[in-house]
Amino acid sequence: MNKYAAKSVVDPAEVLIQQISDESNDEPVGRHRLEFIDTPSSRVILEVENYCLEHGEIGTVVGAPGVGKSTASRYFAGKHRSRTYYLEADPERRQTRELLLKLASRVWRYDYAGSSTAGLFDDLSRVLREDRNRLIIIDECQLLSLTCLESLRCLHDASGVGLVLLGNPKTFRKMEARQSDFAQLLSRVSMRRVIDGLLPGDLEAVANAYGVCGAEELAVLKSIADRPVLALRGVVRVLERAKAFAEKQGSKAISAELLCGVIQYLGLLFVEEV
């Protein structure tokens, strides 16, 4: 067990934790949230999205939770606002018509609910075809039905715009297991990237963005990053709260002790995983 992980379990520094708790009641962390952090993983994601936007191709990014797929993609969509449509799949709205309605609301900025699925598809194809230099990004695509994924391939074919599918390995394993059904989609994927976990330099980039670069502090953060259920998302959560507390105390320094206290306060107790 990492010595800092153990410390946060057996020596919680009750006074510090109580101070963090007290300050958290009236100190919002939102203002300490960074919109985007340039990391090796984010560069991989942006590379795929830029390629598919410029060349009108289909790309996939398969990644573990918490490595920054959504954050990087929202940043890309904001940077290319007039040319990119970012949609996050919803488990309650996973069928073709529902996704097309969501896309139509991005393209036309008004309610298109009265149209049939076929009408939506035809209108979207026509409008997107008028300016093919655009990109559709579908996040959490593992939540979509397989029929819906194939419909996205058809929309790409009909319009010529780029398409990037982001998700966990689950959906792509399903497609590969049913290659006869998804041969057309799989054969059109021209750029594939897999991010199994944090890439070298990811943790340091995130820590540095919050002014943390000491070896002890990085060791604490690594205890978080090494847990698949937390990864970089957990690191950012701890750094946001630690920065908020430090600034409230009139300090810009984020110490290893403070990070351990925040970990304890948030309930992220690190024990050996079975």
- 182-237 pLDDT, tens digit each: 888 989 999 999 998 899 999 999 999 999 999 999 999 999 999 888 889 999 99
* Maximal C-alpha separation, the chain: 63
CB within 8 Å of 18: residues ≥ 6 apart: none
Q: Are 270 and 227 in contact (CB under 8 A)?
A: yes
First-to-final CA distance of the chain: 12
pLDDT number for residue 174: 76
List Cβ<8 Å contacts ≥24 apart for 80-86: 80/53, 80/135, 83/53, 83/133, 83/134, 83/135, 84/49, 84/53, 84/134, 84/135, 84/136, 84/137, 85/134, 85/135, 85/136, 85/137, 86/137, 86/139
- Going by pLDDT thresholds of 50, 70 and 90, the confidence category of residue 274 is very low
41-55, 56-70, 185-199: range with highest mean pLDDT? 41-55
Which tops the pLDDT comparison, 28 or 258? 258
Tens-place pLDDT, residues 154-167? 999 999 999 999 99
17-31, 104-118, 192-206: range with highest mean pLDDT? 192-206
User: CA-CA distance, 118 to 129, in Å (whole number)?
Assistant: 16
- Going by pLDDT thresholds of 50, 70 and 90, the confidence category of residue 266 is confident
pLDDT number for residue 116: 86
CB within 8 Å of 23: residues ≥ 6 apart: 244, 245, 248, 249
- Going by pLDDT thresholds of 50, 70 and 90, the confidence category of residue 16 is low
pLDDT number for residue 56: 97
Query: What number is the average pLDDT over the span 44-54?
Result: 98
Does 33 score more than 80 pLDDT?
no
With tokens 């995130």, the residue in question is 206
User: Which pTM does this prediction carry?
Assistant: 0.86
Query: What number is the average pLDDT over the span 37-55?
Result: 97
Within 10 angstroms of residue 258's Cβ, the number of other Cβ atoms is: 24
Instruction: Report the SS3 class of residue 59.
Output: strand
Of the listed ranges 14-23, 143-152, 157-166, 222-231, the one predicted with least confidence? 14-23
Checking DSSP bridges between strand 135-139 and strand 162-167, what pairing results, if any? Answer: parallel
Does 123 score more than 80 pLDDT?
yes
User: For residue 193, what are the β-bridge partners?
Assistant: 61
Helices (H), 160-227: 169-177, 179-188, 202-209, 215-225
Kindly report the average pLDDT of the chain as a whole number.
86
Closest CA to 64 of 165, 143, 170, 204: 170
User: CA-CA distance, 39 to 199, in Å (whole number)?
Assistant: 9
Q: Which two tokens stand for residue 29?
A: 């962390």
What is the dihedral sign for C-alpha 64, 143, 89, 45?
A: positive
- Going by pLDDT thresholds of 50, 70 and 90, the confidence category of residue 94 is confident
User: CA-CA distance, 77 to 164, in Å (whole number)?
Assistant: 12
Residues in the chain: 274
